[in-house]
Structure 1
Amino acid sequence: MKKSWLWSIPLAIGVGSFLISEKIFHTATHRRAKYPAPSKRMLRYAREYYRYIDWYHEIPKQTWYVHEKKTHERMIATYIPNAKATKRTVIIAHGFGGNRETMANYAKMFYELGFNILMPDDRGHGQSAGKYISFGWLDQIDYQHWIQEVIEHNGSDSKILLFGVSMGGAIVAMLSGDKLPKQVKAIIDDCGYSSVRDELDYILGHWYHLPKYPFDPMISTITRHRLGYYITDASTTHQLSKNVRPIFFIHGAQDHYVPTYMGYRNYHATHAPKELWVVPFASHAESFWINPQNYKNHVNAFLQDYFY
């Protein structure tokens, strides 16, 4: 009897670990609200943020759609043609829990720099389809479609910039290792993580105070079952090792959500022309807000060197 009771301990631990892993997976990947509010740490910028939102609502725009052939899911994006006709277009990827509207500040910045703007809602966010958030790995498929939509709309002489923040930064960095059309000229990754596994392990330790094992492999197996890939597949640094396009990395020096060392990992992973700007005192996704004009100047300097 006593021996039978002892055997139940590892079973209980295993079941408990699986249930915790399932809960973390659900919390991380379930669909996000269509219209998220600014996070508490960004409330100091709320007045400026809603000024950009007002600009976004007022500017003439179009709604674009693509349909993913394998899943038959519909993705949605906003296209803002620049008032001055141009072949330059930036595709802007938003962060975890956001949507295309939350990138209005970056859209206005690039609009002022003379770009057309394409702002998708990513899988599991906003008005796009998707039961789960894929943290960039499956979003690559959708962004390949968006790139083709831009080329078809603006012509084969289009010049495309990929830009993203946080999860969006990881999306465009992951795309860098794919076979991309020649029209894609450069990439800007603001505070993207070095891999989904790195980010998961960091959150397990710092948010949940849990060890990597057994939770890392369990969550990875759940992800494989639900989304079709293991966490270890979704490596930003591996994708960057195949990158050949100029890329600009931006990261806050005080980022405790996607820690700054991941920005350095990404920077060192690619051998293409590259620049890194670590922004003093900036927390996660705060680099723009600390000094919008300085941010714009740094972006424009990179574009002058590698895009125009």
Structure 2
Amino acid sequence: MKKFVKWFSIVLGTLLILDIGAGMYFFHVAEVRGHKSFLSSSTELSKKDPLYKQRHWYQTVHKENWKMTSANGKHQLDAYYIPAEHKTNKSVILAHGYMADKTQDGGAAGMFHEMGYNVLAPDDQAHGKSEGKLIGYGWIDRRDYIKWMNKLLKAEGSNQQLVMWGISMGGATTMMTSGEKDVPHQVKAFVEDCGYTSVDDEITYQAKSMYHLPKWPLVPTVSLISQLRAGYNYSEASAVKQLHKNKLPMLFIHGSKDTFVPTSMLEPVYEATKGPKEKLIVNGAKHAKSMDTEPELYFKTVKNFLSKYVS
């Protein structure tokens, strides 16, 4: 019996060490700032780009550089601010995707500029020129976006009507922000593009999709490491739970061929929100490519949706 207990303890200890080691590795892959080999890094602009006009404008237009301390007081954050061509009381805050940054917001920035909006495009913590080593997956960032909103209102006046738009991780950030109790009353609507239901769901999906690994025991281990090092766990970082508290209008957009944040995640978030809502599934669009795939449809849908809530 003693021999069995000894060997059982050795096996259990070995498995625990392996689990912790794997957890640390995948935590680094998922949350630590740095190059991610599974993501495309090409940002070269081509005249064949369906959004060339908007992206070229964004590259060349004069941008004000705004800075702010993060909501948790730990990091200096960086953003672009582009006033509308004519004085307006309409402003949009853009939320970029995972390991992207504000320089890649040209399509959305151009779209909203053409609609007459002031544009604020921040870099999330651990992205672009903002400080930080650990990625918040929208959960940490939701508090920063509330602070950016208030900074914009202070700069442009309390009569501003605000809209938040986000893509991929930024889409999840947008949904997570929507459930906060102190969203400024000037926020009139949200537009989310291909955001995930929760960090737990997305990490579980990617573990299976990229590495053919089951959820248990790896994802809970990585989540625990995240709790200890980054201050949040994957289950609490839920767009669905936040949407249950949202009563503001939201437009949901997803590509029908999205295999990075699967299209199946659209329905749970759409059903979760308590406010007025619409959805657009762009046929044939891959992850974060709905705007590129059908720009005219995308622009028209966003414009028509917002026209109901922003005057």
Class of the TM-score when normalised by the shorter of the 2 chains: over 0.9
Residue 306 of structure 1: CA displacement?
A: 2.5
Q: Does residue 1:283 correspond to 2:286, yes or no?
A: yes
Contact 2:75 2:125 in 1 (8 A): no
Q: Quote the residue 1:201 is aligned against.
A: 204
Structure 2 residue 302 is the aligned partner of structure 1 residue 299: yes
**Structure 2 residues without counterparts, runs of 5 or longer:** none
1:44-123 to 2 correspondences below 5 Å: 47-48=48-49, 52-68=54-70, 70-123=72-125
Give 1:164 shift.
0.1
AA aligned opposite 1:259: P
Which residue of 146, 159, 162 maps to 2:161? 159
Please list the CA deviations of residues 191-214 of structure 1 after superposition, one character each: whole Å capped at 9, or x if unmatched.
000011110111111111111111
Match of 2:178 in 1: 176
Residue 230 of structure 1 pairs with residue 258 of structure 2 = no
Instruction: Look up the SS of the partner of 2:275 in the other structure.
Output: coil
Quick one: which of 251, 260, 264 aligns to 1:257? Answer: 260
Q: Does 1:190 align with 2:190?
A: no
What count of residue pairs does the alignment treat as equivalent?
A: 304
Deviations, residues 79-129 of structure 1 (Å, cap 9, x unaligned): 000111111000000000100011111100110011010000011100001
Between the aligned partners of 2:34 and 2:163, the Cα distance in structure 1 is 26
Determine which structure has the larger helix proportion and give its number: 1
1:32–1:125 contact (8 Å) kept in structure 2: no
TM-superposed deviation, 1:78: 0.1
SS in 2 for 1:129: coil
| Equivalent position of 1:128 in the other structure | 130
8 Å contact from structure 2 (residues 255, 282) kept in 1? yes
- SS of 2:242's partner is helix
Q: Distance in 1 between matches of 2:149 and 2:34?
A: 24
Q: How far does residue 39 in structure 1 lie from its aligned partner after superposition?
A: 5.1
In terms of mean alpha carbon deviation, does 110-119 or 3-12 score higher?
3-12
Cα offset, 1:7, TM superposition: 3.4
Relative to structure 2, which stretch is displaced further, 18-27 or 89-98?
18-27
One-letter code of the match for 1:292?
Answer: P
- Scaled by the length of structure 1, the TM-score of the pair is 0.93
238-247 or 54-63, which deviates more: 54-63
Question: 1:221 and 2:232 equivalent?
Answer: no
Q: What does 1:16-27 correspond to in 2, within 5 Å?
A: 16-27=18-29
**Residues 251 and 277 in structure 1, CA contact (< 8 A), matched pair in contact too:** yes
Give aligned-pair identity as a percent.
38
Q: CA deviation at 1:11?
A: 1.8
What secondary structure sits across from 1:231 in the alignment? coil
Give the match for residue 138 of structure 1: 140
**Residue deviations 1:6-64 (CA, integer Å, cap 9, x gap):** 5322222221111111111101112146xxx9557x99978526664432232122000
Q: Label 1:284 to 1:46 Cα distance change in 2 as closer, same or farther (>3 A).
A: farther
**Alpha-carbon separation, structure 1, partners of 2:279 and 2:302:** 11
User: What TM-score results when the alignment is normalised by the length of structure 2?
Assistant: 0.92
SS at match of 2:307: helix
Are the structure 2 counterparts of residues 86 and 129 from structure 1 closer, same or farther at C-alpha, using a change threshold of 3 Å? Answer: same
Q: CA RMSD in A?
A: 2.1
**Structure-2 separation of matches of 1:245 and 1:63:** 29
Instruction: Please report how far the alpha carbon of residue 289 of structure 1 lies from its aligned counterpart in structure 2 after TM superposition.
Output: 0.4
Contact 2:197 2:240 in 1 (8 A): yes
